[in-house]
């Protein structure tokens, strides 16, 4: 049974639209137990469903990113790929982007078998809702359709034996929208961000009832934007109000890491002198060997992972989220050194000069561009960027073309000429997609050859 929402004529917010949404949420909270999507499968009460804690990908698993144009951009998806390529280089994980510009949940369902199920995923992240709300004030019929279709998406993922990871719609930046308008304002420039908050709240409840993990994309984008605007009013991560730019997509990747990926360090190296007067060196997520303790302390360290490094266009978002420290910590700690300044060298090349006190506290290396491991990780990121630019995004363009042609055909289903033209084009589409997917696999092979960590020789020598 659907639950009623009161009409709120003229109720607009001059900022985010939150007063309108809060009014809706009160009614939503009272009636949330009654889902209006009658044909969705019944789900167990939340007390019977433990929540999936993390995306735990094993060797050979596939992760599919299902979404609309924001996923079609191949940016946040690319950055998550970079994380797994560098953190788990021995796992051969396959990633498939299933984003199509303009998609709603119903559109994703139409291509589900070929574009999601065919890849036999273990996990499927879902980023839909921006288009489902139709960029207008809250409308109950529109919301009912979203509930019905999204519930079916969740059911379909479960039916193919995969684990769904629902994610809130991203932020609609009303200030950016207003700043970009020369003519009259559109209604969505004042309150649509609040409508998306409601859609995300419903989706969160669905995830909990079904025992699924959940990613809050919405809050992190909004909170970071609000904080930045305290000193820079024109700040935005979403210049066109809808599609986050590369820095904003780093924020999205960090939301996934924060909410659904178990956090771990890249590696740590620790060296100190014991009570017996002998120096030792040890590491986590790696192995230290061949210690030599003289005026210059040296040893070899073979890490099991590389730092998480992203292409240059993502740098602002990486800095804003403190992503290196939070998600890619690589630390070296050298204690019991004589007072003074020391040069740290890796494979004979200096990477920095530090005091004995700094080294005793620990020095983070994950964002040090001089280290060979950083440069190796950057090469992996650049290769993955090339994969997405030259193969994966063109695949998504083909799927968008298919949707456009299907929609055009649906408008005139009795037009024999158009139907024949579509049937003639369809094999071309399939051949192009197959060729591009083969190119994706070729890039993946290159990436898994380039992402294998190498042992490096460390030296800590008195600075001259």
Contact (Cβ atoms closer than 8 angstroms) between residue 206 and residue 157:
no
User: Distance (Å, rounded) from C-alpha 95 to C-alpha 93?
Assistant: 7
Helix axes 217-228, 246-260, angle to 10 degrees: 130
3-state secondary structure of 337: coil
Contact (Cβ atoms closer than 8 angstroms) between residue 142 and residue 134:
yes
- Reported confidence tier of residue 32, pLDDT bands at 50, 70, 90: very low
User: What pLDDT shows up at residue 191?
Assistant: 86
User: Could you read off the pLDDT of 75-91 as tens digits, one per residue?
Assistant: 999 999 999 999 999 99
- C-beta neighbour count of 259 within 10 angstroms: 17
User: What pLDDT shows up at residue 322?
Assistant: 96
Whether the per-residue pLDDT at 36 is higher than 50: the answer is no
User: What pLDDT shows up at residue 89?
Assistant: 97
User: What pLDDT shows up at residue 178?
Assistant: 86
Q: Which residues pair with 364 in a beta bridge?
A: 331
Whether the per-residue pLDDT at 146 is higher than 70: the answer is yes
Q: What is the mean pLDDT of residues 101-113?
A: 98
Q: Which domains does the chain have, with CATH numbers?
A: 18-260 (3.40.50.1110), 267-304+330-365+368-464 (no CATH)
- Reported confidence tier of residue 47, pLDDT bands at 50, 70, 90: low
Q: Which of 14-23, 144-153, 407-416: highest mean pLDDT?
A: 144-153
* C-alpha radius of gyration, the chain, whole number: 25
User: What pLDDT shows up at residue 402?
Assistant: 97
DSSP codes joined into one string, 111-128: THHHHTGGG--SEEEEE-
User: Which residue has better confidence, 37 or 412?
Assistant: 412
User: What pLDDT shows up at residue 436?
Assistant: 98
User: Distance (Å, rounded) from C-alpha 225 to C-alpha 315?
Assistant: 16
User: Could you read off the pLDDT of 332-388 as tens digits, one per residue?
Assistant: 999 999 999 999 999 999 999 999 999 999 999 999 999 999 999 999 999 999 999
**Exposure string (b/e) for 451-460, b if CB count within 10 Å is 16 or more?**
bebeebebbb
User: Could you read off the pLDDT of 246-272 as tens digits, one per residue?
Assistant: 999 999 999 999 999 988 899 999 999
Name every residue whose Cβ is closer than 8 Å to that of residue 420 and which is 6 or more positions away in sequence. Answer: none
Name every residue whose Cβ is closer than 8 Å to that of residue 77 and which is 6 or more positions away in sequence. Answer: 65, 71, 95, 97, 99, 388
Average pLDDT, the chain: 90
User: What pLDDT shows up at residue 182?
Assistant: 58
Contact (Cβ atoms closer than 8 angstroms) between residue 434 and residue 84:
no
Per-residue DSSP letter, 40? S
- Reported confidence tier of residue 183, pLDDT bands at 50, 70, 90: low
């Amino acid at each position: 049974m659907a639950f009623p929402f009161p009409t709120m004529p003229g109720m607009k917010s001059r900022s985010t639209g939150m007063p309108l949404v809060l009014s809706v949420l009160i009614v939503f909270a009272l009636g949330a137990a009654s889902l209006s999507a009658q044909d969705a499968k019944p789900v167990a009460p939340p007390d019977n469903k433990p929540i999936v804690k993390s995306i735990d990908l094993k060797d050979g698993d596939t992760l599919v990113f299902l979404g609309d144009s924001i996923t079609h951009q191949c940016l946040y998806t690319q950055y998550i790929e970079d994380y797994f390529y560098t953190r788990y280089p021995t796992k051969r994980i396959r990633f498939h982007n299933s984003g199509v510009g303009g998609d709603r949940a119903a559109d994703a369902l139409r291509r589900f078998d070929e574009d999601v199920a065919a890849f036999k995923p273990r996990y499927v992240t879902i980023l839909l809702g921006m288009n489902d709300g139709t960029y207008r004030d809250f409308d109950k019929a529109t919301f009912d359709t979203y509930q019905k279709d999204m519930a079916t998406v969740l059911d379909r993922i479960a039916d193919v034996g995969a684990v769904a990871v629902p994610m809130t719609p991203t932020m609609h930046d009303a200030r950016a929208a207003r700043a970009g308008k020369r003519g009259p304002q559109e209604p969505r420039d004042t309150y649509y961000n609040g409508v998306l908050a409601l859609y995300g709240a419903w989706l969160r409840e669905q995830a909990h009832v079904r025992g699924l993990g959940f990613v809050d994309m919405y809050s992190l984008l909004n909170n970071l934007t609000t904080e930045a605007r305290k000193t820079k009013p024109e700040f935005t991560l979403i210049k066109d109000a809808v599609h986050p730019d590369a820095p904003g997509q780093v924020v999205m990747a960090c939301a996934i890491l924060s909410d659904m990926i178990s956090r771990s360090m890249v590696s740590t190296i620790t060296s100190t002198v014991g009570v017996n007067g002998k120096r030792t060196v040890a590491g986590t997520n790696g192995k230290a060997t061949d210690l030599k303790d003289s005026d210059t302390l040296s040893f070899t360290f073979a890490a099991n992972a590389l730092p998480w490094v992203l292409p240059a266009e993502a740098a602002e978002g990486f800095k804003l989220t403190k992503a290196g420290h939070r998600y890619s910590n690589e630390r070296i700690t050298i204690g019991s050194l004589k007072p003074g300044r020391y040069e740290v060298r890796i494979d004979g090349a200096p990477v920095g000069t530090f005091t004995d006190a700094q080294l005793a506290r620990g020095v983070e290396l994950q964002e040090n561009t001089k280290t060979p491991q950083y440069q190796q990780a950057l090469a992996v990121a650049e290769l993955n960027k090339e994969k997405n630019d030259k193969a994966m995004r063109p695949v998504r363009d083909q799927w968008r073309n298919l949707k456009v042609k299907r929609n055009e055909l649906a408008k005139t289903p009795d037009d024999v000429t158009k139907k024949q033209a579509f049937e003639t084009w369809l094999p071309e589409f399939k051949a192009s997609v197959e060729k591009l997917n083969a190119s994706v696999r070729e890039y993946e092979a290159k990436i898994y050859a380039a992402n294998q960590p190498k042992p490096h020789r460390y030296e800590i020598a008195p600075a001259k």
